[in-house]
Amino acid sequence: MKPRVLVTRKLPDAVEARLRRDYEAILNPTDTLYTSEEIIKKAVGMAAILPCHTEKFTAEVIARLPECVKIIANFSVGYDHVDVDAAKKRGLIVTNTPDVLSDATAELTMMLMLGAARRASEGERLVRTRQWKDWSPSFMVGVQVTGKRLGILGFGRVGQVVAERARGFDMEIHYHNRRRVAPELEKGAIYHATPEELMVHCDFLALHCVASPETNGLLNAERIALLPDGAVVVNASRGSVIDEDALIAALRSGKLYAAGLDVFINEPAIRPEFRELTNVFLMPHIGSATRETRDGMGFRALDNLDAFFAGKAPGDRVA
């Protein structure tokens, strides 16, 4: 008998085809966003749940899951939506999908930098609304990316790929990480032991740290104050790593030239100020949204399920 798997969102066709082949999969063809109560009810009789970051597995939800559920195989690299301590206490295995989205997220980070620096949102609106009248030397002047200093806060898989892409723009790479990486991974990037030390070297700052209690509000007013005047901040990690009040104040005051944001606190119900500010380039959490990457994420989640049900240790276990 095939293991029963609850799939909480609509997944790519190739991923769902493999699910149907190897499992008794309960799919979500309408891509309905289930509530916690609905997930608990639908989990009855399931051996596994394959969720995305949109579903919250708090300690209370985990405690109420049927005992038949043995593994949560996330379709995401981040797992801050799962209380891993509660999962460990219950003996519930949790996995994620690292590595496969590094290139796509790095591409999106470069788009955020370019879009924010070159005022892409403003320009696009001018063209669409027929307000573009003529050309002049002072029209739509932005900030150049080439040759600038890029600070990367979090120098893991994604941060290292961002550094590689940024070198194509002749950017000087600076970074802070919990631990300094090996020279062959630095490739000339300059390490700073604290976020504060990093800030003063950032014409552009890209955040690529995981969401955790330690990184909550990591970019706050004090650290923004240390950035050079006119710096550009981009975030394609998690919204919680930025103090949004402080970011909005810095964008309004001109301390920051611009921001490029793909993630937010309480998304999609984002702060209205972000929509109102003209110096923010906004994206709807699409860092991993390429066909290649979404297929890769799904296959990675299924690899973890395959290993578990074959009696082996899943390769991407986080709890």
pLDDT of residue 300: 98
**Each residue's pLDDT tens digit, 108-157:** 999 999 999 999 999 999 999 999 999 999 999 999 999 999 999 999 99
The reply to whether 170 and 40 lie within a common domain is no
Q: According to the model, what pLDDT value does residue 13 have?
A: 98
Looking at the structure, do residues 79 and 120 belong to the same domain, yes or no? Answer: no
The answer to whether residue 285 is catalytic is yes
Distance CA 23, CA 50 (A): 12
From 174, 285, 294, 300, the catalytic residue = 285
Do 273 and 136 share a structural domain? yes
pLDDT score for 30: 98
Give the domain CATH number at 174.
3.40.50.720
Q: 236-251 pLDDT, tens per residue?
A: 999 999 999 999 999 9
d(CA 58, CA 36): 9
State the Cα–Cα distance between residues 292 and 116, nearest whole angstrom.
26
In a domain, 314, yes or no: no
Q: Report the number of distinct structural domains present in the chain.
A: 2
- Based on the fold, state whether residues 59 and 39 are members of the same structural domain: yes
Residues 160 and 234 in one domain: yes
Peptide bond into 268 cis (omega under 30): yes
- Catalytic residue, from 208, 238, 294, 300: name it: 238
pLDDT per position as a tens digit, 216-243: 999 999 999 999 999 999 999 999 999 9
Residues 174 and 149: beta-carbon distance below 8 Å: yes
Task: Output the pLDDT for position 133.
Answer: 94
pLDDT of residue 281: 98
Q: State the average pLDDT over residues 61-81.
A: 97
pTM to 2 decimal places: 0.94
User: Across-strand partners of 57?
Assistant: 82
Using CB atoms within 10 A of its CB, is residue 164 exposed (0-12), middle (13-18) or buried (19+)? middle
Q: Tell me, what's the pLDDT at 261?
A: 98
- Residue 280, helix vs strand vs coil: strand
Q: Does residue 242 lie within any of the structural domains?
A: yes
238-286 confidence digits (pLDDT tens): 999 999 999 999 999 999 999 999 999 999 999 999 999 999 999 999 9
**pLDDT tens across 172-203, in order?**
999 999 999 999 999 999 999 999 999 999 99
Q: For this structure, is 81 an active site residue?
A: no
Do residues 148 and 204 lie in contact, with contact meaning Cβ atoms separated by under 8 Å? yes
| Residue 119 DSSP class | T
Given 122, 186, 197, 267, the catalytic residue:
267
Same domain, 85 and 221: no
Active site (annotated) includes residue 238: yes
Write the pLDDT tens digit of every residue in 161-175. 999 999 999 999 999
What DSSP letter does each residue of 223-276 carry, written as one string?
Answer: HHHHSPTTEEEEE-S-GGGB-HHHHHHHHHHTSEEEEEES--TTTTS--HHHHH
